[in-house]
Amino acid sequence: MEPEAPIEASRHAVILLHGLCGTPLEMGSIPKALERIGFSVVPLEIPGYSANLVTPRVSVRWEDWCDTVDAEVSRLKETHETVSLCGLSMGATLALATAIRRDDILGIVALSPVLRYDGWSISWYAFLAEIPYRLGFRNWSYKESEPFGLRNVEMRRRVAKTLEKSGVAEVGAAAIPARQLDAAKRMMGYVRRSLAEIHCDLAVIHAIDDESAAPRNAELILKEVSSEIRKAIWLGDCYHIITFDNEREIVTNETVRFINKSIKAYEDDASHRRTGKRAPLRDRR
C-alpha cells in the first residue's frame, strides 16, 4: 500500500540516524519513500559514531553525537517549518536523546530503540566486558556475529559475506570499538533517566523477537515519555535490523504514515489556532 502524500511536504524535513558504527544504508527503503513524497531527507553521518567517521583521533562522547544532530536540526529549522527524526537501533536512542535536549522536534520514529542490550542473544555475563575497559584496556572491539540482527536467512548469508570482505554491510559494521560502545551505554543511561522530558509525537516500531534489545525497551519508552501522541507497532517476523528483515515494507510504510499524520496534526492545530479553535484530540491522532 502506497503511503498517502502529506500537505506541502517540502516544508518538512526528516533527519535519518543509522545505528552505532553503521552507515545510512541501514535505513533501507525509508529515505527513498520519504523523498518520493517530497520531504527534505537528511541521512546524517556523525564523527565518532558513523562507520566512515570512526578514527582513533576522533573524540568519543555521546554528547558530541547529540550536538551534531542538534546543530542539524537548527540548520534545517531555518528553512523548514518542521523537523522530524527517524532512527534505527542506537540511532533511535540518539533521536530520543536529542528530543530530551530540545522541544522543537515535531516527531520521532524510533526503530528498534535500545535502552539496554538485553535481547535473547546477549549473554548474561556480557557486563564483564566493562571490567577491562574500566581498568584502562580500551583497544578492543565487540565483534558482531550471527544472526546479525536478521531473521531472514538468505539476507543473513549475504551480510556475512559482505562483512567478511569489507567489514561493513548494509546492516552495520563487523565490529564496534570499545570506546563507541561505552559512549553508547552512557547515552542509554541518560535517556532512561530523562524519558519524561520527551514531549514530541512518537512512534516505536519493534520486533517481539529482537535479539539485541528486548521488547521491554520499547515498553519503557512508551510508558515514560510525556508525548501526547504515541504509538507502538509490533513486528512478529523480524529481529533487530527491521529495515532489512522480513517485514521491511511494513516498517517503511508505517514510518512514512506516522510522519505524515504527525505533520497533518501539526497543520490542523496551526489552522485551528488561526481560527481560535483547537482540533479535537481524536482528530489529531
Determine the pLDDT at residue 127: 62
Which cell goes with 187? Answer: 547515552
Residues 6+ away with beta carbon under 8 Å from 144: 163, 172, 173, 174, 175, 176
Determine the pLDDT at residue 50: 92
Of 122, 73, 127, 78, whose CA–CA distance to 95 is shortest?
A: 73
Q: Please state whether the peptide bond connecting residue 43 to the residue before it is cis, i.e. omega within 30 degrees of 0.
A: no
Q: Kindly list the domain boundaries of the chain, sorted by start residue.
A: 9-119+183-284
CATH of 9-119+183-284, one of 3.30.428.10, 3.30.70.2660, 3.40.640.10, 3.40.50.1820: 3.40.50.1820
E strand or H helix at 87? strand 82-88
Which cell goes with 251? Answer: 516498517
Low-confidence ranges of the chain (pLDDT < 70): 1-10, 56-59, 123-129, 131, 133-138, 140-142, 145, 168, 171-174, 271-285
Determine the pLDDT at residue 123: 67
Determine the pLDDT at residue 251: 98
Pairing between strand 141-143 and 175-177?
antiparallel
Grid cell 500537505 is found at: 7
Grid cell 492545530 is found at: 269
Distance CA 142, CA 166 (A): 17
Neighbouring CB atoms inside 10 A of 253's CB total: 16
Determine the pLDDT at residue 56: 67
Taking the model in full, what pTM does it have?
Answer: 0.87
Which cell goes with 274? Answer: 488561526
DSSP code, position 37:
T
CA 258, 15, 68, 77 torsion-angle sign: negative
Grid cell 517481539 is found at: 208
Which cell goes with 97? Answer: 536523546
Determine the pLDDT at residue 52: 78
